[in-house]
Amino acid sequence: MTERREAETEGASCRVFTFKDPRSPQESLSVCIPEVLDPQYGMYVWPSAVVLAQYVWFHREQLRGRAVLELGAGVSLPGVVAARCGADVILSDDANKPACLENCRRSCAANGLQDVSVRGLSWGEVSPDLLLLPRRDVVLGSDVFYDPEDFEDVLVTFVCLLRKNPEAQFWTTYQVRSADWSMEALLHRWGLSCVPVPLADFDADQSELAGSALPGSHSIQMMIVSRRTAD
Ligand SMILES: C[S@@+](CC[C@H](N)C(=O)[O-])C[C@H]1O[C@@H](n2cnc3c(N)ncnc32)[C@H](O)[C@@H]1O
């Protein structure tokens, strides 16, 4: 069971995640994520978020000083870990769900992150907010591929970000909920390619991560999406 602490915010309790590194036992990072008991998707940490946060932690040297955007961030565990590791982070969630945007802000406050900005970005909407975003190097998205109806919209949002930085990468984790789902055709349509990342490569092939049993027996996968280059 993950450690829980009373959060200052009414109605939220705080789940604590502690990331360690067997390669460097003196280093660790604890973050506190306020969660609200609510049926909406963006109010608590999803298992895929712990896996993506572990990837971020494992690659923290590479992320220091890099420009990061989290899409569909909800309570924002991966983005908070990236910010605590020294990345310049913007968090985003659906522009039409103020409660989810408030969660992003609450997670920042709980971790003393004053420089992280929160934006309403709805997938697939080429809004002024999306077009005005500064150049990003890495886009994070945990469990944003859960409804096939949204897959193309999520990818289109990433493609818009590629205009400012064609080398940007989309680091994403998802739960395998149906063997029938495939993104191959959409990736091809939008000039993208993807590389699966085995969980064992970043010590995430465990049912318990960062002191949390959330990953459990869920089938979670990680991939990196980027602009397709000539073969
Ligand atoms: C399954 S939850 C995952 C939340 C968080 N990333 C995590 O893994 O803990 C999906 C998230 O996507 C957001 N979302 C859903 N539809 C969206 C849309 N059309 N545009 C932007 N965000 C959306 C939800 O508000 C929610 O925060």
**74 versus 13: which is more confidently predicted?**
74
Which residue's alpha carbon is nearest to atom 14 within ligand 1?
A: 72
In a domain, 24, yes or no: no
In a domain, 112, yes or no: yes
Q: Number of folded domains in the chain?
A: 1
The Å distance, Cα 106 to ligand 1 centre, comes to 16
Per-residue pLDDT band at 44 (split at 50, 70, 90): confident
Predicted pLDDT of residue 11: 58
Pocket flag, ligand 1, residue 74 (CB < 6 Å): yes
The Å distance, Cα 27 to ligand 1 centre, comes to 31
Per-residue pLDDT band at 38 (split at 50, 70, 90): low
Region 18-26 average pLDDT: 93
Region 152-162 average pLDDT: 98
Look at residue 225 and tell me whether its pLDDT is greater than 50: yes
Q: Which of 43, 39, 45 shows the shortest CA–CA distance to 2?
A: 45
Q: Are strands 28-36 and 117-120 parallel, antiparallel or unpaired?
A: unpaired
Look at residue 21 and tell me whether its pLDDT is greater than 90: yes
DSSP string, 159-228: HHHHTT-TT-EEEEEEE---TT---HHHHHHTTEEEEEE-GGGGT--SS-BTTB-TTTT--EEEEEEEE-
Which residue's alpha carbon is nearest to atom 13 within ligand 1?
A: 72
The parent domain of residue 142 ranges over 41-227
Region 5-30 average pLDDT: 81
Q: Looking at the CA of residue 100, tell me the nearest atom of ligand 1.
A: 25
For the chain, state the CA radius of gyration. Answer: 16
Average pLDDT, the chain: 91
In a domain, 156, yes or no: yes
Q: Which of 175, 150, 167, 148 shows the shortest CA–CA distance to 66?
A: 167
Distance of alpha carbon 226 from alpha carbon 231, whole angstroms: 14
Look at residue 214 and tell me whether its pLDDT is greater than 90: no
In a domain, 15, yes or no: no
In a domain, 2, yes or no: no
Look at residue 1 and tell me whether its pLDDT is greater than 70: no
Pocket flag, ligand 1, residue 72 (CB < 6 Å): yes
Q: Which of 208, 193, 108, 94 shows the shortest CA–CA distance to 147?
A: 94
The Å distance, Cα 218 to ligand 1 centre, comes to 18
In a domain, 7, yes or no: no
The CATH number for 89's domain is: 3.40.50.150
In a domain, 50, yes or no: yes
Q: What angle do CA 192, 197, 202 make, to 5 degrees?
A: 140
The Å distance, Cα 54 to ligand 1 centre, comes to 19
pLDDT in tens, 163-203: 999 999 999 999 988 877 888 999 999 999 999 999 999 99
This prediction's pTM: 0.94
Per-residue pLDDT band at 134 (split at 50, 70, 90): very high
In a domain, 90, yes or no: yes
Q: Distances from the Cα of 88 to the Cαs of 48, 66, 68, 134, in angstroms?
A: 22, 6, 6, 11
Predicted pLDDT of residue 32: 96
